[in-house]
Amino acid sequence: MLSISPLVEELVKALRVLPGMGPKSAQRCALYLLQQQREGGLRLAQVLERAMQRVAYCRRCRIFSDTDLCTICADTSRDSGQLCVVASPMDVLALEQSGGYQGLYFVLAGSMSPLAGRGPQEVGIPDFKTRIQDRSLQELVLATPSDLEGEATAFYLAEMAKQRGLKITRLARGIPVGGGLDHVDERTLAQALQHRRSWSESGD
């Protein structure tokens, strides 16, 4: 880019860490903040700094949280007998917005993929194994992506849950094959949750 000032160039480069933010987009955002949103830019910088320093992971479900337990895990009105396993924090947000689930969650760090170097350890399977030892758990809801890696991960988790004697269900096939939960509309998600079926009935 044309260097207006070293600091502006540094700002543009910093903005490029965001997904989908190319050089031109980063340049537009930087100039917009400097020209029209100085106050908003300063607030963004302050909140971003606090979030980067204070937000970690909930010790129970592994979603982002700035407290030891996230608000979902700390909510005693949730159904502690249901545990929904998802591949990312975005999936939790999608399911919560659907309004169709009132249980608890466990967040993996993606799906297992030997080719990409993501095995059980990398996606958090040891923590999952510890989590399902909770005696209050009765049902495991598998909500991993419906692509090959997600299905393989679901199968792996289901085999572990069978040893624990849990009821195992999978989201109904209203979820598009090969798609993530964050791209599914709220009504489809709610119906998929409502009509989930036993893992053994899915033919896997």
Please report, in tens digits, the pLDDT of each residue of the chain (204 residues total). 555 789 999 999 999 999 999 999 999 999 999 999 999 999 999 999 999 999 999 999 999 999 999 999 999 999 999 999 999 999 999 999 988 899 999 999 999 998 888 899 999 999 999 999 999 999 999 999 888 899 899 999 999 999 999 999 988 766 666 667 777 777 778 767 876 777 765 555
The whole-number pLDDT of residue 201 equals 59
The whole-number pLDDT of residue 202 equals 58
The amino acid occupying position 126 is P
Q: Which CATH class is domain 6-54?
A: mainly alpha
What token pair was written down for 83?
A: 């545990």
The whole-number pLDDT of residue 146 equals 81
What per-residue string of b and e applies to 16-33 under the rule 16 or more CB within 10 Å gives b? eeeeeeeeeebbebbeeb
**Within its chain, how far is the Cα of 114 from the centroid?**
20
**3-state SS, residue 170:** strand
- Tell me the pTM: 0.77
Strand partners, 76: none
Q: What is the DSSP letter of 4?
A: S
The whole-number pLDDT of residue 178 equals 66
Which CATH number does the domain 64-202 belong to among 3.40.50.720, 3.40.50.1860, 3.40.1360.10, 3.40.50.2000? 3.40.1360.10
Q: Do domains 6-54 and 64-202 have the same CATH topology?
A: no
What token pair was written down for 141?
A: 């809801």
CA distances (Å), origin 98, targets 31, 93, 191: 37, 9, 9
Please, how many CA atoms are within 13 Å of residue 122, restricted to the half-sphere of its CB? Answer: 11
The whole-number pLDDT of residue 14 equals 94
The whole-number pLDDT of residue 193 equals 80
Spatial CA neighbour of 106 closest among 70, 77, 76: 70
Q: Where are the domains of the chain?
A: 6-54, 64-202
